[in-house]
Copies of this chain bind each other. A is one copy, B any other.
């Protein structure tokens, strides 16, 4: 099985209450690829970078079974750069700099060798580009997962975003975005409305408050692991999505019951991501560490009640 992701590969500069970084490697597709690489045998990336990028990063990804041939390297151009500063609660942040650079010219071309990918994860980019990706997939993938954000829910992009949402199997958004998309405060009502727009499954990410998976009339909840310290939340949502899709790809099972497991594995990967700056922690995990972390999730929510009739 194989996983295709389309999204940003970029530089970030991050400031948290615990410290700050210079330019480090970031971008949704980077986090997704690192996270998925612990599960998927083959991860295919489509992205765009400038020739200022740290090319050793691509080598490291290739060493983990990630195919980077779909990353378009623009000569003489600069990579996408984002800089942000987190507040003490780590749930809110100020964007300090957004230099789109090569992202302005991003025209995602899916190499023929990627076209048989079983699972497609569309990272958070312009819905016009996400739609372009879907249109190039001549073989319908087993599962198309879409991540997006509130920026694309505004006037100029909303119709296109709705069109993309109508074509995917799973949508992942955070709680505020689910509310905005459905214009409903109740997440249960919002989920019902959003599933009527197309996706059979909806994942609502609530950061430190965990994640909800909706499907038809069913709902599953996975907590976030209570951590002593959240060092840097950047990329946690992408790491979650990468683990979620990677696990589904590895296990070749897209049933609701297996999606629950995938949510737990995705949550485990995200819980590692926030322990250090950027991708640092998710570059060096062992399978044993991941299994132990999943065990922490089991211990966290497991209880044993025998119901009376």
| In the complex, A305 has a CB within 8 A of chain B | yes
* Chain B residues whose C-beta falls within 8 Å of the C-beta of A308 in the assembled complex: 287, 291
Residues of B within 8 A of A223 (CB): 210, 221, 223
10 examples of A-B residue contacts, CB within 8 angstroms? A189-B229, A219-B300, A221-B301, A261-B305, A264-B305, A287-B308, A291-B308, A294-B307, A298-B305, A301-B301
The verdict on A185 contacting chain B, using a C-beta distance below 8 Å, is yes
A186 and B305 within 8 A (CB): no
| Cβ of A220 under 8 Å from chain B | yes
What separation, in Å, do the CA atoms of A223 and B223 have in the docked complex? Answer: 8
Shortest A128–chain B CB gap in Å is: 33
* Selected contact of A300 from candidates B221, B227, B307, CB within 8 Å: B221
Please indicate the chain B residues that have their CB under 8 angstroms from the CB of A295 in the complex.
307
Bound Cα distance A218, B303 (Å): 13
Q: Does A304 contact B (CB under 8 A)?
A: yes
Q: In the assembled complex, which residues on chain B have CB atoms less than 8 Å from the CB atom of A212?
A: 226
For A228, give its contact among B189, B220, B221, B229 (CB under 8 Å): B189
B257 near A304 with CB under 8 A, answer: yes
The yes or no answer to A167 lying at the interface (CB within 8 A) is no
Whether A261 contacts B304 by the Cβ 8 Å rule is: yes
Query: Is A188 positioned at the interface, with any CB of B under 8 Å from its CB?
Result: yes
Determine whether the beta carbon of A303 is less than 8 Å from that of B226. Answer: no
> For the complex, is A215 an interface residue (Cβ under 8 Å from B)?
no
Can you name the residue of chain B whose Cβ is closest to the Cβ of A308?
B291
Annotate A275-309 by CB proximity to B: 1 below 8 A, 0 otherwise.
00000000000010001001100111101110110
Question: 1/0 per position for A195-213, CB-CB distance to B under 8 A?
Answer: 0000000000010011010
**A260 in the interface (beta carbon within 8 A):** yes
Contacts of A254 in B (CB 8 A): none
Residues of chain B with a CB closer than 8 A to A218's CB:
299
Chain B residues with Cβ below 8 Å from A298 are: 305, 307
CB-nearest residue of chain B to A300: B221
Closest chain-B Cβ to A233's Cβ sits at a distance in Å of 13
Q: Are B186 and A220 in contact (CB under 8 A)?
A: no
8 smallest A-B Cβ distances: which pairs?
A260-B303, A209-B209, A221-B223, A301-B301, A188-B228, A188-B226, A221-B300, A291-B307
Chain B proximity mask over A212-255: 1 for CB below 8 Å, otherwise 0: 10000011111100111110000000000000000000000000
Q: List the B residue with the shortest CB-CB distance to A227.
A: B188
Q: In the assembly, what is the distance between CA of A308 and CA of B294, in Å?
A: 10
Tell me the bound Cα distance from A155 to B228 in angstroms.
28
Q: Which of A218, A219, A294, A305 has the most CB of B within 10 A?
A: A305
* In the complex, A89 has a CB within 8 A of chain B: yes
Q: Which residue of B lies closest to A187 (CB)?
A: B226
B303 touches A261 (CB 8 A): yes
Q: A55 an interface residue at 8 Å Cβ cutoff?
A: no
Separation in Å of the A206 CB from the closest CB of chain B?
7
Picked from B185, B187, B206, B228, the residue with its CB within 8 Å of the CB of A186 is B228
